[in-house]
Amino acid sequence: MSFLNLKKDNFDYAHTCSLHSSIFQPMTKFILPFISCILLISAKKDETSNQPNITEIEKIIQQEVASKRSKSIIVGIIDAQGRRFVSAGTYSDVQQLKPDANTVYEIGSIGKLFTSLVLADMALKRELQLTDPISKFLPDTVQTPTYKGKKISLLNLSTHRAGFPRMAYNVDQKHVDHPFADYNETLLYEYLKTFQLSREIDSKWEYSNIGYGLLGHLLTRHAHKNYETLVQERICKPLGMTRTSLDLAHTIKTNKAVGHNESGHAMSQTVSVPVMEGAGFLLSSADDLLTFAGAQLGLVESPLSEAMKLTHLPQGPKDGNDGDITMGWTLLRYDGQELLWKDGGTPGFRSFIGIDKKNKYAFVILSNSDNSITDIGLHILDTAYPFKPYRYKWNLMDTLNVCIEAGGVDAGIAIYKELKAAAKPNFVFDPTQLLQVGNALQRAGRMADAIRIYELNVSEYPNVPPVLESLAEAQKRAGDGAGALANFEKLAAMDPQNLHWGWMIGRLR
């Protein structure tokens, strides 16, 4: 293969700002608004082996934990020889324990694979049809979007080809880390009634969390069961997956990894939202996910084998030369290979699952950090994919946090200006540094101090909309409706087509 243009699919809960900020992307939050970075593969593939051996994998994850990419990383592999696990780091700052096969992590958008598998299982059992319009599963009072008379189907939702964007515009983010915490059925139905499609259905792939949240909601309505029950009855119990759930029992939570942000500071657990559970709120372990992955290859006996095969079928191209989209997976086909992969993320966690169908090889990676592990996953899937060692960039943020803790926000602002004037090479100056400082102050309940830092960020980067948006959101949470309204109006002037900003202006007015 000469190159593959590969994109990152994870959930990205917008844990650093509000919903339509370009700062959401875990690796380059202020540069790429929910758009995955383009990565080229120019190296020739090793024809004898697509995957690095277990020793090489262990070396990689030990190196990356030492470089502060994550507090802990565990990799599980399954093939004809059985299961193998390697891990590095500690999954909790308090317990200082190395993760094992049963340590539980949040798996984010890998949960979409469970949603699509439930859909496939229902379709094969003739409980519904993939081509059924979504309106069939909603109250008669809920009008759904159409395009030139064509209706959105369940299959369109599962393949990200319905025409929905990544996030709904009508989300009033009350918490800096959890945008959907207050999203409910009423808001979802309001969104469906007011959203207008801008292109023909099934004409283009566009990653959509709101689409998968809606899909999970429709399946629960049709089955008259909640999402947890659907996943347990249809997938976990048949496969013997005992550590996969929306909310694991307390005895299992004692072995749950603690999430951390990019700079290594602990974060709270993601809040599960019933109306969005299909988009990715599950928790699981490496061992359970290996069972799930092994069943995809027939290495684990499964009553879901035909449904899994259905979810592997190509349903249309992704952007550029990114491969094909299936019912949840990305499918790469070249040189006789068939590779499936999916990554995921929630605030404080990243995950990856990869499958080599030709060589009957599958693996999972779990990490308790906001820093991406997708490059590691793609490198394990095929060594031709370039792996770039992580480089810690948060010295500026660390320094500011220490100064603010010792001398207050004024001291932090003063040292920021001094360091910027000195232009020292070991300090990275970009909007994410001040954004993280402000977010940490918000989490600590110091909203006034957070707003001071966001205001500094706006003065430094006045033409970066997500920077202004973070200030507007903080002002709204602090009760300064007038200040928030003024800044959302400035944002709307920058981009009149941004529906979220217009919706927020309407609410604030």
How far apart (Å, rounded) are the C-alpha atoms in residues 465 and 321? Answer: 30
How is residue 191 written in tokens? 């969104």
- The band of 49, judged by pLDDT with boundaries at 50, 70 and 90, is low
3-state secondary structure 97-132: CCCCCCCEEECHHHHHHHHHHHHHHHHHCCCCCCCC
pLDDT for res 93: 84
Give just the sign of the alpha carbon dihedral 469, 471, 473, 475.
negative
| Of the ranges 37-46, 48-57, 352-361, the best mean pLDDT one | 352-361
How many Cα neighbours within 13 Å face the side chain of 111?
32
The pLDDT of residue 267 is above 50: yes
Helices (H) and strands (E) in the chain, counts: 18, 12
In the prediction, which pLDDT does 15 show?
36
Q: What tokens were used for 462?
A: 């006045």
**Strand residues in 10-107 grouped as ranges (E):** 72-79, 82-89, 104-106
pLDDT of residue 4: 41
As a whole number of angstroms, the distance between CA 320 and CA 285 comes to 34
Write down the pLDDT at residue 54. Answer: 95
First to last CA, the chain: 55
pLDDT at 3 over 60: no
Could you report the per-residue pLDDT of 10-34, keeping only the tens digit for each?
A: 444 333 333 333 333 333 333 333 3
Instruction: Note the pLDDT tens digit of each residue in 110-161.
Output: 999 999 999 999 999 999 999 999 999 999 999 999 999 999 999 999 999 9
Q: Of 27-36, 42-51, 112-121, 486-495, where does mean pLDDT reach its minimum? A: 27-36
Torsion sign over Cα 432, 466, 159, 161: negative
Contact of 311 with 326, CB cutoff 8 Å: yes
Residues 6+ apart with CB under 8 A from 375: 39, 385, 386, 387, 388
pLDDT of res. 12: 44
The domain over range 395-508 is classified in CATH as 1.10.287.310: no
What is the rounded distance in angstroms from the CA atom of residue 216 to the CA atom of residue 472? 32
Average pLDDT of the chain is 88
* C-alpha distance from residue 403 to each of 266, 413, 456, 467, 476 (Å): 19, 9, 16, 22, 27
Q: State pLDDT tens for residues 322-371.
A: 899 999 999 999 888 899 999 999 999 999 999 999 999 999 999 999 99
Residue 460 has pLDDT above 50, yes or no: yes
- Between CA 468 and CA 463 the distance in angstroms is 8
pLDDT attached to residue 251: 67
